[in-house]
A and B are shown apart, each in its own frame.
Chain A
Amino acid sequence: MALTDTRPESGTEAPASAPAVVPSPLTIFGSGDHKAIGTVYVVAALLFGIAGWIISALASAHAISGLEFLSTNAFQTLFTLSRVGLILLVAVPFFLGLATFIVPLQVGARTVAFPRAAAAALWAWLLSSGVLIVANCIDGGIDGGRPKAVALGLLAIAGLVISLVLGTICVLTTAVTMRTPGMRLDRVPMTTWAFLVGGSIWVLTLPALFAEIMLVWVDHRYGAGDTFAADGAQWQAVSWISNQPQVYAFFIPAFGVIADAVATFTGTRLLKRTLLQTTIGAFGVLSLGVFAQTALAPDYDGQPLWIAMSVLIVIPVLLVFALIAPAFKAGKPALQSPLGLSVASLLMVLLAVVGGALLVITPLRLRDSGDLAIGHFNLVIAAALTAAAAGVMYWGPKMIGRRLADGAGKLAVPLFLGGGLLSGLAFFVLGFGNRFTALQDYSDLLLWVSILGDALISLGLFVVLAGLLSGTRQGAPEAGNDPWGTGQTLEWACASPPPTGNFGDLAIVRSPEPLLDEEA
C-alpha cells in the first residue's frame, strides 16, 4: 500500500485467494504495508547483526595481550557501540520486524494499527541507525573524543529509542484492539502474547534510556559537561540496558516464537496455555530493570530486589521448558530448522539465567571484573537472535511466498548454539579469574574462544539471511497458504505472501488453534 492509497481497513476487502505479489524494492519506500515494513526491519537487523558481532569480536581482540590495536578512546566507543548496537540495531528491531509482519496476521487483522506511523518508525530507525554508525566512525558515540560527533551519536540513540517505541506501540495496539471476533486475549497465538508482554516492557523501559540520553546530551551540548556527560558517566547512563535484569526484556518475544514453532512442528496443541502465558508474563515482570542503574540507585546490586529478581527469573525459564516438553512427547517432532533453533535458544537462555543468578552471589565476587556480565549479555542476545532466526525460517515462506532452503536453517543451528556457548561461556569462565588465579594464564585463550563464538554467530546470521533470500531463487517451490501443513494459527490461513488486506472473511475464532478446529 502506498501511503497515498486508501487505508486497508477502509478499503475493499481482499479475497483470501488473491494472487500473491512480492513487492518490488521501489514500492517498499512508500509503503505502509506491515508485511513490507516487517521484512525491511528483519533484513536490516540481520545485516546489522552480522556487523555487530564482528565489532564485538574486535572489542574482545583488543583485550588480548600484545594485540592492543586501538586507542583507549576507540576501544571504549567500539565496545559501547557493540553493546548498544546489538540491542537497538539488532535484537529489538529484529523482533519488532517479525512482530510487525506476523502479529496482524496472527490476530486476523487486515493491517497494522497506524500504518503510516509504523512506516515512519521504520525509516526513522534506519536513519538513526545510519547516523549512529557515522557518528561512531568519526570518533563520536558514547564517551567518544570529538564533541560534535558525540552529540550526534547521542541524538541518534534518542532517535532509535523514539522510533522503536513508536513502532512497538503500533504493533501493541494492533494486538489489543484489532483482533478478529472470538480471539480473546487468552486465545492469541503465543508470539502475539509474548510480544504483548515484551513490547509493553520495552514501552515502559526504553523511555528511561531516552531520558538519560537527554540528560547526557543537555550536559554535553549546553552544560559544563562535567556531570552527566563526563568521561565514564555517559556509559553509566546507558549500560543498564545491557545488564540484568533489563537485558532479559529483549528476549521475551523469543518465548512466543519458540512456543509457536514447537506447536507447529510437533503437530500438537500446546497444553496449559494460560499457565504458559502467565509464565511469560512473570518473566516480563522480572525483567523490568529500569531501577537497576547507578543514576537511580548507586548500590542497586546489593539491594534485595535486584538479587531476588535475578534469582527468581530462573523459575519462569524452567517452567517454559516444563510446559513445552510434553508437546515433543505427545506429537511427532518434524526435524525442521525452526524447531532446532528454538531448542538451541531455550538452552542458551537457561544457561544465561543460571549465570545471572550466580552473578548476584556476593561471596563469589563475580561482579569484580565484569567479565561474567559480558558473557551473560553475549549469551542472552545470542539466545534472542537464535529465536529470531527461528522466526525467520518459520515465517520466511510467508514473507517471500516460496519455500526456503531449510538446509541453511539447519546449518544455522550449530552455528548459533556453538557461537552463543563459546562467546558467552568463555567470559563466564574468565569471570571466575578472581577466585582461581591460574585462570588468568588462560585469559588470552579464552578471549580467542569468545572471538570464535562471535564469528560463528555472525556467520549464523549470514546463513539465515542467505536462507531467507533462498526463497527468491528461481524454481523455489511455492509456499501455498501453509507450507508446513501443520499450521494452527491464522497466519497460515492466508496466501503467501499475504495480499493487501491479508484476509477475506474469517470465521469466529473459538480456540487458540482455529485452523485445527476447522480441520476437525
Chain B
Amino acid sequence: MSAHILPPAPPVQRPRVVVVATAFASAAAVMAFVTLLGVYLNKRASVIEAGSTWLPEGSTIPLQQPNTMLITLIMSVITMAWAVNAISKNDRVNAFLALGFTLVLGIATLVMTTYLWTLMKLDVASGAQGVLIYTITGAHTIMLVLALVFTSLMALRALGGQFNSREHDGMSAAALFWYAMVAVYALIWIIIYVTK
C-alpha cells in the first residue's frame, strides 16, 4: 500500500461553472421542446393527410398576438445582450437599465400568452390539438417564468455589487437561458402559430 504525496500545484481555477451548467440545462430544455414539436408536426401531418383540418371547428389562432410576442422577445434579446455587455464594461447603470427592460418585456410576453389562450377558444379535451398546443405553450410559459426568475436573481446579485468586468458568469448564464427560451419561442411561432 503506497501513500501518494504529490508536490503542490497552482490554485485551482473555477471558470464558467454556472455558464456550463446553464448550457447543459438549456440543451435539455430545448430537447424537450424539440420532442414536443416533433410529436406536434407528426400528429398534424396525419390529421391533414386524413382530409381533416388541424384546428377543431370554432377554434382559431390569431396571428397578431404571436407576432407581437415574437417582436417583444426579439427586443428582449437585444436588451439582455445590452445588459451583459454593460456589466462586462463595469457600466452598472446601463446594466440595471437593460435588465429592467428585459424583465418588463418578459412579463409583457407572459401577459400576452395568457391573453392568447383566452382568444383561441380551444378546449384541452378537444383532442390531440388541445393537448399538444396547451402542453407546448404551457411548457414554454414555465420556461419563460424560470428565465424571469433566473434573470431577476442575477439582477439582485448585480444590485448587491457581485458582478464586474472580470466576473459576470451569472449574468452570462441568465442571458444564455434567456436566448434559449427565445429560440424555443421562435420555433413555436413558426410551427404552431404561423403554419396551421
Interface contact B15-A203, CB-CB below 8 Å: no
Number of B residues contacting the other chain (C-beta, 8 Å)?
Answer: 44
Contact status A172-B14, CB under 8 Å: no
Task: Please tell me if the beta carbons of B21 and A169 are within 8 angstroms of each other in the complex.
Answer: yes
Closest-CB distance, B68 to chain A (whole angstroms): 26
Partner of A227, one of B12, B17, B34, B127: B127
Q: Is the CB of A297 within 8 A of B131?
A: no
Main secondary structure of the interface of B (DSSP, over half): helix
> Per a CB cutoff under 8 Å, which of B1, B14, B128 touches A228?
B128
Confirm or deny: A147 has a beta carbon within 8 angstroms of a beta carbon on chain B.
no
| Cβ–Cβ < 8 Å partners of B4 in chain A | 481-482, 487, 492-493, 515, 518
Answer whether residue B62 sits at the interface, using C-beta atoms and an 8 A cutoff.
no
A113: nearest chain-B partner, CB-CB: B17
Are B28 and A297 touching (Cβ within 8 A)? no
| B28:A508 contact, CB within 8 angstroms | no
Q: Are A227 and B131 in contact (CB under 8 A)?
A: yes
Is there an interface contact between A181 and B21, defined as CB atoms closer than 8 Å?
no
- Interface pair A290/B31, CB less than 8 Å apart: yes
* Interface residue? B10 (CB, 8 A): yes
Give every chain A residue within 8 A of B9 (Cβ-Cβ).
Answer: 180-182, 505-508
A514 pairs with B6, CB closer than 8 A: yes
Cross-interface CB contact of A204 among B20, B28, B33, cutoff 8 Å:
B28
Contact with A along B1-30 (1 / 0, CB 8 A): 111111111101111110011001101110
Q: Are B13 and A173 in contact (CB under 8 A)?
A: no
In the complex the two chains form, what is the Cα distance from A200 to B20 in whole Å? 12
Q: Is the CB of B24 within 8 A of A203?
A: yes
When chains A and B are docked, how far (Å) is the Cα of A515 from the Cα of B2? 10
Partner of B35, one of A200, A207, A222, A519: A207
B154 to chain A, nearest CB (A): 16
Compute how far the CA of A482 lies from the CA of B126 in the bound complex, rounded to whole angstroms: 64
Q: Which of A437-490 contact B (CB under 8 A)?
A: 480-483, 485, 487
Centre residue among A16, A177, A480, A508 by max chain B CB count within 10 A = A177
Given A176-B20, A222-B125, A505-B6: A181 in contact with B130 (beta carbons within 8 A): no
**A110's contact among B1, B12, B20, by CB below 8 Å, is which?**
B12
Question: Which among B15, B28, B34, B138 has the greatest number of chain A C-beta atoms within 10 A?
Answer: B28
Smallest CB gap from A108: residue in B: B12
Q: Chain B: which residue is nearest A166 at the CB level?
A: B25
The chain B residue with its CB closest to the CB of A494 is: B4
Q: How far is the CB of B22 from chain A (nearest CB, A)?
A: 9
A219 touches B131 (CB 8 A): yes
Residue of B nearest to A492 (CB): B4
> What per-residue 1/0 map shows which CB atoms of A198-217 lie under 8 Å from chain B?
00100111111011101100
Query: Given A113-B21, A481-B1, A482-B4, A208 and B32 touching (CB < 8 A)?
Result: yes
Chain A residue with Cβ nearest B8: A505
Q: Give B40-86 interface residues, CB cut-off 8 Å to A.
A: 42
A480, B2: Cα distance in complex, Å: 8
Known: A208-B31, A215-B39, A481-B1. 19 other contacts (CB 8 A): A172-B24, A173-B17, A173-B20, A177-B14, A181-B12, A204-B27, A205-B31, A211-B32, A212-B39, A215-B131, A222-B124, A227-B131, A296-B39, A296-B42, A482-B2, A493-B6, A508-B10, A515-B4, A519-B2
The 10 closest A-B pairs by CB, nearest first: A505-B8, A207-B32, A507-B6, A208-B35, A493-B4, A211-B35, A211-B32, A480-B1, A173-B21, A227-B128
Interface residues of A (CB under 8 A from B): 9, 16, 108-110, 113-114, 165, 169-170, 172-173, 176-178, 180-182, 200, 203-208, 210-212, 214-215, 218-219, 222-224, 226-228, 290, 295-298, 480-483, 485, 487, 492-493, 505-508, 514-515, 518-519
